């Protein structure tokens, strides 16, 4: 029976989320996905064994079980792939009329949609992300990206007034493991729309959806060699970057590797675009729509286990609402469900790899050493696989390493501020400049803040929103070049009279 309305003791005023009503497991069926036991390299429209004859395992980070094995491409394979791309560029793709290129891209987009469920399952199996995210975000957005750039292929003359648009040639593209298929779409779609051909290397821990995309490309009858896919680790990527037959390097990944790439191409005419790390400030003012801000902060840092380059990993909350806001954050965190990525109710999946988990744990230790207060959700952790519960650090200083360095995990550093000028200075006090968030109900403050923040994407009263029509990319050490939208065409073209 309910208590009489006398105010409860302080300790009693607490919400209980260890509920007796739990959701039963609702796993997506693994059988709906066809995965071959072994994948070769996709070069010149055919599947080719690697010259080394070596293959490496790709595992399910939630169970540590092997899913499949993929070819390890070496220098000879890179040579073959670049040669195939060059031939396709010279012989077919650069000459193909825009409307025809467009139709190929439309066709690929449709096939991605048709196979969306299968792709979503594989994405979650291979990378550890919750099926809700791969199903509702990764795969549909990837398909939309192909649709968006398909339409540009025959309309380039309208994009850049008073200029003619020329393709660059062969693009070498290296993508990360956090959004494997989506990043492949971000790279391939604008490159093909503008008349370039592609050699793509997916990340070594998450190659499977890109390989499925290669199957789709084959099924779509794209001319052989227009898209080539080579799998491997950093060595393979390095061979691609250094290859003399490449005209353009597009890389998404860490700032550290981005710098190595820029060094490597310094003496060449290769064009480069880099989409690198970030340490986004998510700024909550006292007049913010507070519950939506809580949700935005949660999605900002826990989306995809925090494996997001634009993750809102630094929370700046105005001191007058800090305690309330933290309480709301913790309550919200308690309702996050960690577990099997294939379960439709999972909010927090597996950390992508052992290596990344080790990195995250190092930062957790650093945070505690730095004297910050750590709060972790009390959810059960599966015995096998790589897991990190949603984590909050309070009592963090601007000079703390956990507030300065990219952790790339579900770890939020909470800092407080008093004035607008103070927070803008702190938000910009970073070598990065990829994204930021601002939460206030005052329109003039929104525009003041979004203008002064040095970042390529600024979300006001929302966070982690993406759209094929919306340019994305960084300031400063978060890289250069934009992906998405009209501006996303620029990295793949030369403009001339």
Partner 1 sequence: MLQQFNLSGKNQLTSGGHPAAGFYGKSFNFDQAEILPMRFPLSNNRLPDFRLSPHIDQTGVEERAARFTKRSIKKESKLNSLKLVLSMIDLTTLEGKDTEGKVRQLCYKAQHLHDAFPGLPAVAAVCVYPTMVNTAKRALQGSGVRVASVATAFPSGQAPREVKIRDTKYAVSQGADEIDMVISRGKFHEGEYAFVFDEIAAIKEACGPARLKVILETGELGTLDKVRRASDLAMHAGADFIKTSTGKIQPAATLPVTLVMLEAIRDYYYDTGRMVGMKPAGGISKSKLALHYLVMVKEVLGDDWLNPEWFRFGASSLANDVLMQLVKEKTGQYQSANYFSVD
Partner 2 sequence: MEKSLKKSSQPVRGNGVEKRAGNRRLEVLKTYKLYIGGQFPRTESGRYYTPTGPNGRKLANVCQASRKDFRDAVVAARNALGGWSSRPAFNRGQILYRMAEMLEGRKAQFMEELQAQGLPRLRAERDVSASVDRLIYYAGWCDKFQQLFSTVNPVASSHFSFSVPEPTGVVAIIAPQQDALLGLVSVLAPVLAGANTCVVLAAESLPLCAVTLAEVLHSSDLPGGVVNILTGKAAELTGWFAGHMDVNATLYCENDSSVQRMIREKATSNLKRTVFYADDDWRLPDAQSPYRILDFQEIKTTWHPIENIAGSGASY
Residues that bind partner 2 (CB under 8 A): 144, 160-161, 163, 255, 258-259, 262-263, 265-267, 274, 276, 431, 446, 450, 455-462, 465, 467, 469-473, 475-477, 479-480, 482, 485-487, 495, 497
Q: 460 contacts which partner out of partner 1, partner 2, none, CB within 5 to 8 A by kind?
A: partner 2
Q: Which of 204, 309, 310, 406 is catalytic?
A: 309
Residue 276, binding choice from partner 1, partner 2, none, Cβ under 5 to 8 Å by partner class: partner 2
Residue 383 makes contact with partner 1 by CB under 8 A: no
The answer to whether residue 379 is catalytic is no
Helix 75-88 with 234-242: angle, nearest 10 deg: 50
CA dihedral in degrees (91, 96, 102, 103; nearest 10)?
-90
Give all strands (DSSP E) within 270-347, no chain letters: 271-275, 281-284, 314-318
- Give min distance, CB of 130 to partner 1, in A: 10
Kindly report the backbone phi and psi dihedral angles of residue 119, in degrees, each rounded to the nearest multiple of 5, phi listed first: -65, -40
The reply on whether position 443 binds partner 1 by CB under 8 A is no
Q: Which of 461, 486, 487, 494 binds partner 1 (CB under 8 A)?
A: 461
Dihedral-angle region of residue 395 (phi above 0 means left; psi in -120 to 50 means alpha; beta otherwise): left
How near is the Cβ of 248 to partner 2 at its closest, in Å? 15
Sequence-distant (6+) residues with CB within 8 A of 319 are: 416, 417, 418
The single residue listed with the structure tokens 């400030």 is 281
The nearer residue to partner 1, 132 or 307, going by C-beta atoms, is 132
Catalytic residue at 275?
A: yes
Question: In terms of C-beta distances under 8 Å and separation of at least 24 residues, what long-range contacts does 375-383 make, across chains too?
Answer: 375/330, 377/333, 377/334, 377/336, 377/338, 378/334, 379/336, 379/337, 379/338, 379/339, 380/338, 381/338, 382/62, 382/339, 382/340
Compare residues 376 and 450 and give the one whose CB is closer to partner 2: 450
Structure tokens at 397: 């200083």
280: which 2 tokens?
Answer: 């986004």
The site string for partner 1 over 85-124 (x = CB under 8 A, - otherwise) reads ----------------------------------------
Q: Single out the residue of 34, 38, 335, 378 in contact with partner 1 (rule: CB under 8 A).
A: 335
Segment 26-45, which members bind partner 1 (CB under 8 A)? 26
Specify the 3-state DSSP secondary structure of 433.
Answer: coil
CA atoms within 13 A on the CB side of 216: 27
C-beta neighbour count of 465 within 10 angstroms = 10
Tell which residue, 288, 306, 286, has the closest CA to residue 349: 306
Residue found by looking up tokens 């986004």 in the block: 280
Interaction partner, residue 18 (partner 2, partner 1, none; CB < 5-8 Å by kind): partner 1
Least separation in angstroms between CB 268 and partner 2: 8
User: Rounded to the nearest whole angstrom, what is the least distance from the CB of residue 338 to partner 2 in the complex?
Assistant: 27
Active-site annotation holder among 69, 275, 477, 483: 275
- For the bound state, the minimum distance from the C-beta of residue 194 to partner 2, rounded and expressed in Å, comes to 16
Interaction of residue 327 with partner 1, rule CB under 8 A: yes
Q: 21 or 162, CB closer to partner 1?
A: 21
200 SS3 class: strand
* Among residues 127, 180, 296, 349, the one that binds partner 1 under rule CB under 8 A: 296
Which two three-digit tokens encode residue 112? Answer: 């991605």
Provide the annotated active-site residues.
Answer: 275, 309
List of residues contacting partner 1 (CB under 8 A): 1-10, 12-13, 15-26, 132, 136, 287-292, 295-296, 320, 323-324, 327, 331, 335, 344-345, 441, 461-462
């Amino acid at each position: 029976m309910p208590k009489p309305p006398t105010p409860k003791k302080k300790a009693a005023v607490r919400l209980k989320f260890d509920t007796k009503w739990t959701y039963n497991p609702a796993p997506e069926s693994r059988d709906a996905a066809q995965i071959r036991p072994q994948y070769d390299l996709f070069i010149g429209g055919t599947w080719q064994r690697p010259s080394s004859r070596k293959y490496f395992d790709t595992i399910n980070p939630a169970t540590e079980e092997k899913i499949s094995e993929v070819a390890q491409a070496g220098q000879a394979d890179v040579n073959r792939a670049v040669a195939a791309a060059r031939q396709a560029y010279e012989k077919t793709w650069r000459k193909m009329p825009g409307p025809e290129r467009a139709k190929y891209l439309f066709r690929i987009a449709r096939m991605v949609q048709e196979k969306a469920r299968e792709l979503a399952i594989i994405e979650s199996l291979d990378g550890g992300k919750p099926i809700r995210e791969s199903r509702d975000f990764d795969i549909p957005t990837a398909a939309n990206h192909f649709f968006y750039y398909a339409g540009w292929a025959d309309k380039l003359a309208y994009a850049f007034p008073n200029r003619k648009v020329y393709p660059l040639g062969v693009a070498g593209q290296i993508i990360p493991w956090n959004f494997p298929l989506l990043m492949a779409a971000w790279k391939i779609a604008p490159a093909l729309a503008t008349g370039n051909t592609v050699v793509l290397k997916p990340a070594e821990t998450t190659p499977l959806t890109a390989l499925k995309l290669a199957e789709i490309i084959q099924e779509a009858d794209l001319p052989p060699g227009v898209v080539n896919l080579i799998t491997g680790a950093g060595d393979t990527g390095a061979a691609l970057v250094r290859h003399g037959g490449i005209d353009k390097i597009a890389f998404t990944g860490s700032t550290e590797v981005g710098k190595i790439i820029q060094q490597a191409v310094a003496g060449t005419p290769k064009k480069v675009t880099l989409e690198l790390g970030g340490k986004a400030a998510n700024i909550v003012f006292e007049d913010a729509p507070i519950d939506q801000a809580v949700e935005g902060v949660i999605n900002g840092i826990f989306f995809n286990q925090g494996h997001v380059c634009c993750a809102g990993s630094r929370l700046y909350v105005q001191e007058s609402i800090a305690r309330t806001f933290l309480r709301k954050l913790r309550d919200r965190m308690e309702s996050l469900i960690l577990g099997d990525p294939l379960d439709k109710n999972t909010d927090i999946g597996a950390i992508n790899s052992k290596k990344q988990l080790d990195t995250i744990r190092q930062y957790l230790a650093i945070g505690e050493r730095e004297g910050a207060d750590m709060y972790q959700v009390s959810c059960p952790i599966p015995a096998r696989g790589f897991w990190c519960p949603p984590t909050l650090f309070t009592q963090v200083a601007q000079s703390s390493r956990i507030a300065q360095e990219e952790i790339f995990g579900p770890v939020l550093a909470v800092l407080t501020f008093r004035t607008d000028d103070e927070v803008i200075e702190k938000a910009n006090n970073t070598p990065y400049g990829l994204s930021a968030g601002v939460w206030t109900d005052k329109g003039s403050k929104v525009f003041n803040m979004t203008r002064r923040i040095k970042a390529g994407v600024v979300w006001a009263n929302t966070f982690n929103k993406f759209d094929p029509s919306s340019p994305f990319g960084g300031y400063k050490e978060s890289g250069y070049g934009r992906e998405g939208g009209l501006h996303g065409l620029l990295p793949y073209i030369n403009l001339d009279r």
